[in-house]
């Protein structure tokens, strides 16, 4: 059943009087409970698309429906758990207090998903931060902070998680480790995830569906279904099918690079 429906969406930006087409005629249908990655070169509008879905930006034309609601309505009823590029932890709150922030704001709207909330401490333990519940963000490394952001999104009870390049500032090893943790949490909770990245291996490893985009104007060139079995965390390092997908998506991206 499709939970996110995007129809002939377009968006233009004006910079110094020059118009750039950030998104042209985007059509997308995403099923509930699937992990979807948006991948493409910088400037292809993948983050913009994510932000329009999340109600953080508005489109110029076209329609977005989140289970029948507009993005803003969905945002108001706390359908989204947002994981931005930087961790977005409040420095004056401890880790556990940061985890509880989503419940503290917009109380009326979130009532519907209140019962879906997960135990914060357990999720922190799942990302290996069980001992840091009462620490302040500054005591954690960048990777650890980002893991808190992911745990927070899963804890909030929101059915759709929007992740905007959450690992882009992390080193390769940390990145791999965290994406494994993300996968194992996801395999347990099965939320709808829209994940923006420019890392091909990461996209293939995590996703059920990879949406390949190209830039100027930003558009969808191909949607690749990833038929790799779960649990992925147990997948062999050099699984041939995994590599086939990586090659296929790399080829698709290279085709349009210039």
Partner 1 sequence: MGVAGKQNTSRLNAKGAGATMMDIKLNANRESGITFDPSSVPSKKFAKTRRALSSSAPPTVAFIGFFLVWEALVRLIGLNALTLPAPSSVLSELFGHLSFYLPHAWTTLYEAIGGFLLGSVLALTGGIIMAHSRLIERSLLPLAVLANVTPISAIAPLLMIWFGFGALPKVLIAAIVTFFPMLVNSITGFRSVDANNYEYMKSLHASKMEIFLKLRLPNSLPYLFSAARTCVSLSVMGAVVGEWSGSTEGLGNLVMLSSNNMQMNQVFASILLLALMGIILTNLVRLVERRVLSWHSSEQSKG
Binding site for partner 1 (CB under 8 A): 54-56, 75-76, 78, 80, 82, 84-93, 101-102, 104-106, 109, 131, 136, 138, 162
State in angstroms the smallest separation of the CB of 86 from partner 1: 4
Angle 190-163-138 from CA coordinates, rounded to 5°:
110
Q: At what angle do helices 142-155 and 95-104 cross, to 10 degrees?
A: 40
User: Which CB atom, from 29 or from 104, has the smaller least distance to partner 1?
Assistant: 104
Judge contact between 183 and 145, C-beta under 8 A.
no
| Cβ proximity to partner 1, 93 vs 180, nearer residue | 93
Nearer to partner 1, 93 or 256 (CB): 93
With respect to partner 1, which residue has the nearer C-beta, 92 or 257? 92
Give the Cα separation of 110 and 133 in Å (integer).
24
Which residues are CB-neighbours of 24 under 8 A, at least 6 positions away? 10, 217, 218, 219
Q: How far is the CB of 6 from partner 1 (least distance, A)?
A: 18
Q: Rounded distance, CA 132 to CA 125, Å?
A: 9
Q: For residue 152, what are the CA distances in angstroms to 26, 47, 106, 144, 247?
A: 30, 20, 16, 12, 33
State in angstroms the smallest separation of the CB of 164 from partner 1.
9
CB of 16 to partner 1, least distance (A): 21
Nearer to partner 1, 89 or 150 (CB): 89
CB of 70 to partner 1, least distance (A): 12
Distance in angstroms (rounded) separating the CA atoms of residues 180 and 187: 10
């Amino acid at each position: 059943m499709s939970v996110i429906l995007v129809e002939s969406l377009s968006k233009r930006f004006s910079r110094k009087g020059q118009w750039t087409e950030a998104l042209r005629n985007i059509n997308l249908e995403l099923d509930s409970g699937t992990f979807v990655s948006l991948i493409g070169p910088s400037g292809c509008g993948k983050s913009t698309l994510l932000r329009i879905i999340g109600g953080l930006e508005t489109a110029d034309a076209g329609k977005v429906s989140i289970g029948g609601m507009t993005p803003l309505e969905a945002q108001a009823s706390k359908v989204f758990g947002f994981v931005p590029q930087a961790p977005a932890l409040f420095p004056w709150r401890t880790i556990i207090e940061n985890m509880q922030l989503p419940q503290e704001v917009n109380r009326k709207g979130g009532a519907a998903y209140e019962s879906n909330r997960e135990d914060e401490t357990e999720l922190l333990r799942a990302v290996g931060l069980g001992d840091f519940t009462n620490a302040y963000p500054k005591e954690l490394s960048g990777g650890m902070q980002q893991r808190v952001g992911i745990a927070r999104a899963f804890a909030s009870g929101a059915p759709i998680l929007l992740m905007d390049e959450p690992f882009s500032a992390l080193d390769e090893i940390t990145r791999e480790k965290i994406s494994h943790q993300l996968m194992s949490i996801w395999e347990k909770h099965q939320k709808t995830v829209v994940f923006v990245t420019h890392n091909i291996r990461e996209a293939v490893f995590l996703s059920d569906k990879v949406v390949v985009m190209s830039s100027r104007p930003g558009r969808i060139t191909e949607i690749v279904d990833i038929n790799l079995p779960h649990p992925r965390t147990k997948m062999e390092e050099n699984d041939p099918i995994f590599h086939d997908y990586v090659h296929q998506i790399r080829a698709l991206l290279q085709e349009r690079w210039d």
